[in-house]
Every structure is written in C-alpha cells, then in structure tokens.
C-alpha cells in the first residue's frame, strides 16, 4: 500500500483516539507493507508512530512505468499518479440538481486519485481533450 501523502492533517490529529484506531487497524493488517509519501499536511502533522511499521519517504517514488507523487506535477519520462487536490466531478440531474462526486482524473501525463470522506474537500479539475474521468458513487466506479 502506498499512501500519496496527507496521512494526518495536523499535529492535533494525533489524538489518542486516532492513534489507537490506527494501532488496531495496523494489528489486523500487520503483514501489509505500507509506504507513505510525505505530503504538505504530513510536514505539519509529523510522521506516523514508528511502531506502526509505516515507511515514510519524500516523493516522488518511481514504481515501474509510474512516478507516485503527492502533488500532480508531470514528469518527462514516467506517468505520474498523485493525490493532493482531491478531484471531483459535478453531475447534474432533473430540476437543476447537482452532485459533486469524488473521481479518478486521468490526463495525458498525470492521473489524480480521489479522496473520500467529509473532511477531504474536492476540486473540479480542468478537463482536456482525451482526459478520462471516473466518478465514484454508491460503491461503484462510473465513466463520465
């Protein structure tokens, strides 16, 4: 598992409740290798406790034909998979209803992965010709 940054939002997020939940989850998944690429919030929050067995590195991280990164910045020789901006797509319905949904946004040189949860926020990214957008709704992924 590679976390593309912003594991914790701030130093205040290191509450006993949050750290206990992380410890319990990690105990259930003790054999899982986890790497965290430091993001902008991780710099303020600090690294996860060493006892959780999470390798923490500064990115980007080369992985096969990809560069895994926190920020979506194109690279000359590899396709970038990033987080940071929490992409969403706006879909409309009857009666001018609008819904913002987390999405995968794959451009020509950079793919941005979604974030989930009420606290994450969302940003509609500009869509260029050829971009592929996949909305996440009701536990499924839908091409948009």
- pLDDT score of 114: 94
Q: What is the pLDDT of residues 1-51, one digit of tens each?
A: 999 999 887 877 788 998 999 999 999 999 999 999 999 988 888 899 999
- pLDDT score of 118: 72
- For the record, the structure tokens of 132 come out as 């592929």
Place of tokens 């965290």: 36
- For the record, the structure tokens of 17 come out as 């409740």
DSSP character for 44? H
- pLDDT score of 104: 97
Q: How confident is the model at residue 67 (pLDDT cuts 50, 70, 90)?
A: very high
- For the record, the structure tokens of 40 come out as 């902008």
Predicted confidence (pLDDT) at residue 87 exceeds the cutoff of 80: yes
Enter the pTM of the model: 0.89
Cα 28 to Cα 88: distance, rounded to the nearest angstrom:
31
* Percent of the chain clearing pLDDT 90 (strictly above): 70
- pLDDT score of 66: 97
Neighbours of 43 (CB within 10 A): 12
> Could you tell me which of 82, 48, 78 has the C-alpha nearest to residue 64?
78
Q: What is the pLDDT of residues 111-142, one digit of tens each?
A: 999 988 777 778 899 999 999 999 999 989 99
- For the record, the structure tokens of 4 come out as 């593309």
């Amino acid at each position: 598992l590679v976390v593309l940054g912003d594991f914790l939002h701030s130093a205040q997020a290191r509450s006993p409740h949050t750290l206990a939940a992380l410890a319990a989850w990690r105990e259930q998944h003790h054999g899982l290798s986890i790497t965290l690429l430091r993001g902008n919030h991780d710099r303020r929050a600090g690294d996860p406790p060493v006892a959780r067995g999470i390798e923490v590195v500064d990115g980007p991280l080369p992985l096969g034909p990809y560069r895994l990164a926190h920020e979506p910045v194109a690279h000359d020789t590899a396709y970038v998979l990033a987080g940071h901006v929490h992409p969403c797509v706006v879909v409309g319905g009857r009666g001018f209803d609008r819904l913002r949904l987390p999405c995968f946004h794959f451009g020509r040189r950079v793919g941005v992965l979604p974030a989930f949860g009420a606290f994450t926020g969302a940003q509609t990214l500009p869509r260029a010709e050829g971009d592929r957008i996949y909305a996440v709704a009701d536990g499924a992924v839908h091409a948009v």
